[in-house]
Structure 1
Amino acid sequence: MHITIRLFAGLAEVIGSSTLSFHVHDNSVTAGRLKELLSASYPDAAAQISVSLVAVDHEYAPDDTEISETSEVALIPPVSGGEAVPSTSETEDGLFSITGLPLNAEALLDKVLDSDHGASLVFVGTTREMTGDQRTTALHYEAYIPMALSKLQEIGREVQERWNARCAIAHRIGLVGLKEASVIIAVSAAHRDVCYEASRYAIEKLKASVPVWKKDINESGEQWLGSDQKAQNYQID
């Protein structure tokens, strides 16, 4: 069978394509076995493949997950970057979006305001110039958009269930300059302590689970940043 695999960032660069049609002799294959086969077929990319996660139908897949020819498969590397997309993809309710356009905090906040809520917060993550001794000139973001939107919706549901709070999130892709917003999270709740807690949870969960990554563009060149570095240029402190 033939499996179509989406690739991202440095992994796509090494293999030379953002989409790969890969032949497997059997009618199904596990996610772990697929990584083994890909590593054997693309030895130059084996190191990156070994630390990448497999996503099947927009969900992270354990190694024993069965993959069929109809599955939508993506290989999510620990580093990423990509191309700007000057448009917006959003969920049907409009609460969660991935966009190549500048973000609007006031418009996002308006989506979560509730007459029964006495507190609201807007978190804005912006591009920071200095990280230690390194000077950043811009960031470049890429997202696996369908899966990213699904994960943002999961965060919204968790915020609603745990704190009875409303949540909306917008994330930029493409080139994001200094002081420009990369991500905005709006939350409203009955009381301020709940609102603070829900907002903090949302950004931490986003960093851990949503497939959006960045490339740091600096004075010495460009650098792919791994998942453990994803939030270093957000002004969180």
Structure 2
Amino acid sequence: MPIQILYFAGAREAAGASRETLERAPASVAELRRALEAAHPALARILPRCRIAVDQEFAPDDAPLRDGAEVAIVPPVSGGAPRFLVVDRPLTLAEVVDAVSGPGRGGVVTFTGAVRGESHGKRVVRLEYEAYAPMAERKLAEIGAEVARAHGVEVAIVHRVGALAPGEAAVVIACAAAHRTPAFRACEACIERLKQDVPIWKREVYDDGSVWVGLGP
């Protein structure tokens, strides 16, 4: 049975329609995201910042989709994009840049932390990130507020959890200011504080075993 896709605001403009029908329901919300990105290239840029509602309830990416469902693509509301998030989906630099950009902020500095393919002489198969998500988001917001006050910048930080392959982004940070110097300093301060204070852990998985980083072999 077909499913109905509803588009709103910027998502509607990117898709070029307010609604469409898919003849077969993808198995999950994550698979739906991939299908929509392939069908609508202009939508791919903003879809990572959109929430998806299934039958008028927001659904996580691992939620299954039933035949006949009504699915809504919901862009960030007018209050602005969330700035401090822990998510289980691929990251995009645009989401943090958009969150801090604005008139008068001529210097935007970003940091992307990606998974390395080698560590301590071993080939890294993947990294597995785990978080105490509610506390981690609160700590990210605290760090952002403190760095913003100290350097006079706008800050956004998004961290990913789950299994990540080499090359995939684990964290993206953006700092925006009137000039470049405070933005550079603020970005560096954010990543240093994040490593110290935010309850996010990672396990390096090798061909011959694994280790939780910080706890030794």
- Same topology, TM > 0.5: yes
Are positions 1:215 and 2:195 aligned together?
Answer: no
CA contact (8 A) 1:99 1:172 kept: yes
| Equivalent residue number for residue 100 of structure 1 | 88
Which runs of 5 or more residues in structure 2 are unaligned? Answer: 1-59, 63-79
| Equivalent residue number for residue 48 of structure 1 | none
| Equivalent residue number for residue 130 of structure 1 | 118
2:128 to 127, 131, 140: 140
| Equivalent residue number for residue 152 of structure 1 | 140
Q: Secondary structure at the match of 2:116?
A: coil
Return the offset for 1:228. 9.0
| Equivalent residue number for residue 163 of structure 1 | 151
Return the offset for 1:132. 3.1
State the AA in 2 paired with 1:96.
F
| Equivalent residue number for residue 203 of structure 1 | 191
Return the offset for 1:221. 1.6
1:193 to 173, 178, 181: 181
State the AA in 1 paired with 2:148.
Q
1:115 to 85, 89, 103: 103
Which runs of 5 or more residues in structure 1 are unaligned? Answer: 1-84, 230-237
How many positions carry a matched residue from both structures? 141
CA contact (8 A) 2:114 2:167 kept: yes
Which residues of 2 match residues 41-52 of structure 1 at below 5 A?
A: none
CA contact (8 A) 1:86 1:99 kept: no
Q: Give aligned-pair identity as a percent.
A: 36
Return the offset for 1:136. 0.5
RMSD of aligned alpha carbons: 2.0
Return the offset for 1:227. 6.8
Q: Which runs of 4+ in 1 moved over 2 A?
A: none
Q: Secondary structure at the match of 2:158?
A: strand
TM-score by length of 1: 0.56
